[in-house]
Chains A and B, each alone.
Chain A
């Protein structure tokens, strides 16, 4: 299947700082990428749909000014958690569609811990 990478895999930051997470499609181009958040022992919750060259579409209840998404190229989307607080600590995962049937492939995730 298609390969999606994320960087960093883990990040620890102080409360009030901003953190940027990168999502890359390594062997295909992705006009659409998705960002999810997953709390321990819970399912994946879609945060936003990232569209190359246009604004992201956020799910209800997700603050667009707090979770900034930029999809500047067909292989890179970034999620910036601004002014992070301990309640933002979570596992953030991106995904992208690839292939003739548009299967969705996930990155390895980024563990964010806000102290």
Chain B
């Protein structure tokens, strides 16, 4: 079965621009979470979407936003890009079964964003 698909794989943007990243979860997975990974900070939680609703949000500024569509695909948007936003952005999807919400939690290969 297909895994979690993230597009694009690589992206180079200029400071001040905005960017949209896409994540297609494993078929049947309804929960999609986004993480930012940098060498200094490791993996940090951005937000989680379930049934088109944001269920949890990490400690990131409002420039970071996301949404989920009815087919569970999710997008995240970063506006007014800063140099510090350069990172690997990972999404993960899961079945979200009752009592074992993160069952089958699977990561995509990520989008490498470079801001110049």
A-B interaction: no
Binding site for A on B (CB under 8 A): none
Point out residues on A near B: beta carbons under 8 Å: none
